[in-house]
Structure 1
Amino acid sequence: MEAPAAFRIVLLGESRNGKSSLANTIFGEAIFFVKNFNDMNSFATKAQTKLVNGKNFTLIDTPGLFDSGRSLEAVKPELLRCIVECAPGPHVFLIVLKVEKYTEQEEDVIANIRRYFSDDALKYAAVVFTHGDQLPEGMEIKQYADQSDGLRELVEKCGGRCHVFDNRYWKNNQEDNYRTNKFQVAELLNTIDKMLMENRGGFYRSKTLNDIEREMQEEIKLLKLSAENMSEDEMRQQVKSVVLKKQLKKTFWKKVSVGAAGVGLGVGLLALLIISGLNSTSNVAEESAVEAAQTVLHQKAEQAIPNTFEAICDYLNALFERTYNPFCPFD
């Protein structure tokens, strides 16, 4: 019997905001690995599915994809991994922030999220605060958010959806029911139910997500020809790694072609400058000028091509090490 379809929930936010701990709190067990402060190998997207309160949820725990200072080039592999995991689109985004002063750094992270997914994504989003022990006594999280213009605007754009957790100190036997993760999980699940109803069970879409889903469906069709006993979900899990590798390869060769075009353009401009300068001497020297230009072009090309291919090899090796594990392609 096929398992019920899972609702895809993507956790977004800055590094060390507690996304993995929040995912474990929602699932009620330690499924996601909680990164250490100095863990240099933790920049990876993870996805897990579990039945919670009668619904199948796939939580997609992302690293700090939109941290200030991270270039798009540096995070592109994990962005692709996230997109493949949540295709054809996430039903819910959880924007994870800490209960602390809303700084320019956090504003940059939110701006990057909105820039990449567009403001339309906020119709499917809720703001979730962690480190709830920092919430002033007697104050609820919406009151806290109202104290900052930036936070108030963000929560309003997310339909007023706002929750708070504390993954370390809050206990379920406290007298203050509001300040328990059990209460907040129930409230968050209610919010998710309302969002699904408001969006009629729909999910966030984009051209990139549509393209990825189309490619996955093509791979599933091919897999069906040789894998008769696999379920749809099993086939989908298998083709994810195939599609991801193809997407990473496309990204790599696009970068290579841009780099090669840059080398060609530079050599071409150099040729124009040399010929122009030499032609200004005399017509008698025209043939010598062309020969000199060709010699210089040949020398420059000999220098540029090895450097280009050296850069290509370095990039390919780094990409290979970052994305491939023969035992689990998503580690």
Structure 2
Amino acid sequence: FQKRMEELPKSSYGAKAEGSVEDTQFVSSSSLRLILVGKSGCGKSATGNSILCQPVFESRLAAQAVTRKCKVAKGMWNGRNILVVDTPSIFEAKAQDQEMYDDIGHCYLLSAPGPHVLLLVTQLGHFTAQDTVAVRRVKEVFGEGAMKHVVVIFTHKEDLEDGSLDEYVGNTDNHSLRSLIQECGKRYCGLNNQATGEEQREQLEKLMAVVGKLERDNQSSFYTNDLFHDAEMFRRDGDSTPEEYLAKVQAHIEKQKQDLKVTGSHWASKALHRVKNHSLYIYIYIYIYMYCCSEDIYINKLLLSPFI
């Protein structure tokens, strides 16, 4: 973690970040801050390159995750600075070790005082159980309130050919995907990360239109929480040691996990009460949905108990 700290831009945001595509200040109050989130291999780095119109993030087909640590790059769109943070595999079920907390702490430092948008990347037609886990991990890492700032990015838009993304989303029988789209206010966009020239510009315009509406809905406020405040203070004033900062990171993440468990347990209890006089089909459906969306053992036992 200390090595990563040395790679951070200096306080007051005056230094150029490695991989930047614009030779201006690192960040300003008017910068649009975006964080790429999602499971490994979904195309986060390629999406970042499409947004910046530059190959600043390493992106290639590989058996294992290519991005090993958080990276930041920036560009311009219609005269506005764009700051993009690419993330490693911190949204996987197995990401529970000390390196994960280092990566999360690094992500917070790079995007402090907080992102305007979380771009949740998934491949068109391949929203799997791993994606569902990634959604839950986003809530654990940033807090459930961060979903108000999520835009879903479907990569491989070219697979639609002449089809409509709206029709695809509206007609999908993937209940987890439909739930996600509803939860994030039906904010989504498709990208062909192989596009160039006019096609690349047009799809970026569509994405920025979605982002712009999200900003208006949120009254131009970015998402923040206590840990983003700690990260900003640590980076700006050095008010604690790296060890103290990482301890805050771990405590914050564990608290958010616990908050999600409490919320999920309450939701499950209400759901069970509502359907107790309905058909077994509805009951089984709710159990399967909750099992896919939660790794909380308590919730799963609660839902499964009538069948044991």
User: TM tier, shorter chain?
Assistant: 0.5 to 0.7
**Whole-Å separation in 2 of the counterparts to 1:96 and 1:118:** 18
Q: Is it true that 1:185 corresponds to 2:204 in the alignment?
A: yes
Q: Is it true that 1:209 corresponds to 2:233 in the alignment?
A: no
**Whole-Å separation in 1 of the counterparts to 2:90 and 2:180:** 19
Q: Is the 8 A contact 1:93 1:124 kept in 2?
A: yes
2:126 aligned counterpart, secondary structure: coil
Q: Is it true that 1:105 corresponds to 2:96 in the alignment?
A: no
Deviations 1:192-218 (A, max 9, x none): 122222222211111111111122332
Q: Is the 8 A contact 1:6 1:49 kept in 2?
A: no
1:29 aligned counterpart, secondary structure: coil
Please, which runs of 5 or more residues in structure 2 have no aligned partner?
1-13, 15-23, 251-308
**Whole-Å separation in 2 of the counterparts to 1:66 and 1:56:** 27
Corresponding residue for 1:139?
Answer: 163
Q: Select which of 158, 167, 174 maps to 2:184.
A: 158
Q: Which amino acid aligns with 2:167?
A: Q
Q: Is the 8 A contact 2:105 2:249 kept in 1?
A: no
**Whole-Å separation in 1 of the counterparts to 2:155 and 2:146:** 21
Q: Select which of 62, 87, 92 maps to 1:62.
A: 87
Q: Which amino acid aligns with 1:247?
A: P
Greater RCO (Cα-Cα under 8 Å, separation 6 or more): 2
Please give the residue correspondences for 1:145-294 in structure 2 after superposition, counting only pairs within 5 Å: 145-146=169-170, 147=172, 148-168=174-194, 170=195, 180-219=199-238, 246-248=241-243, 251=246
Please, which runs of 5 or more residues in structure 1 have no aligned partner?
174-179, 223-242, 256-331
RMSD: 2.8
Q: Which amino acid aligns with 2:207?
A: L
Bigger CA drift: 190-199 or 123-132? 190-199
Distance 1:185 1:248, change over 3 A: farther
Corresponding residue for 1:10?
Answer: 35
2:72 aligned counterpart, secondary structure: strand
Deviation at residue 30 of structure 1 after TM alignment: 1.3
Q: Is the 8 A contact 1:80 1:247 kept in 2?
A: no
Give the paired residue count.
223
Corresponding residue for 1:321?
Answer: none
Please give the residue correspondences for 1:66-145 in structure 2 after superposition, counting only pairs within 5 Å: 66-135=91-160, 137-145=161-169
After TM superposition, the score normalised by the length of structure 1 is 0.60
Distance 1:40 1:96, change over 3 A: closer
Q: Which amino acid aligns with 2:41?
A: R
**Whole-Å separation in 2 of the counterparts to 1:40 and 1:165:** 20
**Whole-Å separation in 2 of the counterparts to 1:253 and 1:210:** 11
Deviation at residue 138 of structure 1 after TM alignment: 3.5
Deviation at residue 253 of structure 1 after TM alignment: 12
> Where in structure 1 do 4 or more consecutive aligned residues deviate above 3 Å?
1-5, 38-42, 170-173, 248-255
Deviation at residue 41 of structure 1 after TM alignment: 6.6
**Whole-Å separation in 1 of the counterparts to 2:33 and 2:183:** 21
